[in-house]
Amino acid sequence: MKKNIYVTQPFMPPLEEFIPYLSEIWESKWLTNAGPFHQQLERELAEYLGVEHLSLFTNGTIALVTALQSLRITGEVITTPYSFVATAHSLLWNNIKPVFVDIDPVSFNLDPEKIESAITTLTTAIMPVHCYGNPCEVERIQKIADAYGLRVIYDAAHAFGIRYKGESLLKHGDLSVLSFHATKVFNTFEGGAIVCPDAKTKQRIDYLKNFGFADEVTVVAPGINGKMNEVQAAFGLLQLRYIDSAISARQHVDERYRNGLADIAGISVFKSVTDSTQNYSYFPILVDDAYPMSRDALYQLLKDQGILSRRYFYPLISEMPMYRGLPSAAPGRLPVAKCISEHILCLPIYPDLSLSDQDRILDIIRGGR
């Protein structure tokens, strides 16, 4: 039996290089609560990413929930239906009503053209997603936010290391939230972070991820336990040493797919925004009517041969039971997102994907074998 090929596989640095970190943790017995590795990873990540302040979290979802809480967001928030479900879940966890707005057919990001008509007196913020690490139209979104007095919180789970117009993409908006889940470009097994512009905001976020404790006896808010532990942070430090080579290995996979799929009728590959770097975290293709079989048939054909591509994002968040009753979730209002979600397929991409495995994938797509 051949081993399955998953859509992604975490990049694992050499195990022997992780042992010294573990020895230090064993020795110090400092396991969590802003330990030395946690502090070091916050510093090194802020420097690597080119941002001022960053607060580590145990995962991206708790970071999203806390980001909203830190800015006291209430009422309604405009967001995209074309994302991982945690984006909208973070709103429900704060008793906020998600208002879905359709996406742009080229970038698959929230369509700025359609944001204004979704704003009501209850709207307090916009939560866009940099889908596949492709930057949102950050300037246009900020203009709308400024005109209506709204906050902008980016779900930047896909946007690790992305630079836009020569600067970190994560500097846009009021806050950006990263995920370091095992399936992401940079991982700490589970993990995440909030990027924020000033020390005061970081302090509030740090309180909130530690139950709201401001000092030993003062609790300033109903915070949550969102702390990243020392083993996670240590793994992040080690991973960070290899991140550039991991991303460049992904780039090679990306280029081979692009060449291999260049002239197949009915298959189109996703294009990134100009002025932006890429992290090659996903390789999405669209399977349309000119291809001999449907998207789902191709998905199944690959699966039958042990190749587990993923339909990211299908179904839409707005089609899930806890959201589909919302007026903004009506399929007629989200035609672009609906169409993309029915034709999208993300192919396996990760640093260790072998040439022969990639060739097998390309052969199947080319020939329907």
Ligand X SMILES: *Cc1c(COP(=O)(O)O)cnc(C)c1O
Nearer of residues 24 and 319 to ligand X, judged by Cβ? 319
Residue whose entry in the numeric block shows the structure tokens 């930057």: 135
Q: How far is the CB of 156 from ligand X (least distance, A)?
A: 8
Please give the span between the terminal C-alpha atoms of the chain, in angstroms, as a whole number: 18
Strands 175-179 and 151-155: parallel
Half-sphere exposure of 248 (CA within 13 A, CB side): 3
CA dihedral (70, 76, 79, 84) positive or negative: positive
Q: How far is the CB of 340 from ligand X (least distance, A)?
A: 15
Can you tell me whether residue 28 is helix, strand or coil?
A: helix
Compute the chain's Rg from CA coordinates. Answer: 21
**261 to each of 149, 185, 227, 272, how far by Cα in Å?**
45, 23, 43, 16
Can you tell me whether residue 73 is helix, strand or coil?
A: coil
Structure tokens at 314: 């299908």
Can you tell me whether residue 100 is helix, strand or coil?
A: strand
Q: How far is the CB of 110 from ligand X (least distance, A)?
A: 12
Q: Provide the residue type at 354 as one letter.
A: S
Q: How far is the CB of 129 from ligand X (least distance, A)?
A: 5
Nearer of residues 127 and 196 to ligand X, judged by Cβ? 127
Q: Specify whether the backbone of 278 is left (phi greater than 0), alpha (psi in -120 to 50) or beta.
A: beta
Nearer of residues 35 and 60 to ligand X, judged by Cβ? 60
DSSP type of residue 116: G
Q: How far is the CB of 305 from ligand X (least distance, A)?
A: 26
- Nearest 10 degrees: Cα torsion 159, 162, 165, 166: 150
CA dihedral (264, 102, 97, 190) positive or negative: positive
Nearer of residues 59 and 123 to ligand X, judged by Cβ? 59
Q: How far is the CB of 292 from ligand X (least distance, A)?
A: 31
Nearer of residues 79 and 358 to ligand X, judged by Cβ? 79
Q: How far is the CB of 89 from ligand X (least distance, A)?
A: 9
Nearer of residues 164 and 291 to ligand X, judged by Cβ? 164
Nearer of residues 67 and 298 to ligand X, judged by Cβ? 67
Q: What are phi and psi of 334, to 5 degrees?
A: -125, 50
Instruction: Give me the residue whose beta carbon is nearest to ligand X.
Output: 60
Can you tell me whether residue 87 is helix, strand or coil?
A: helix
- Binding region for ligand X (CB under 6 A): 59-61, 83-84, 86-87, 129, 155, 157-158, 179, 181, 192
Q: How far is the CB of 260 from ligand X (least distance, A)?
A: 26
Nearer of residues 63 and 261 to ligand X, judged by Cβ? 63
Structure tokens at 336: 């672009």
Nearer of residues 266 and 315 to ligand X, judged by Cβ? 315
Q: How far is the CB of 311 from ligand X (least distance, A)?
A: 14
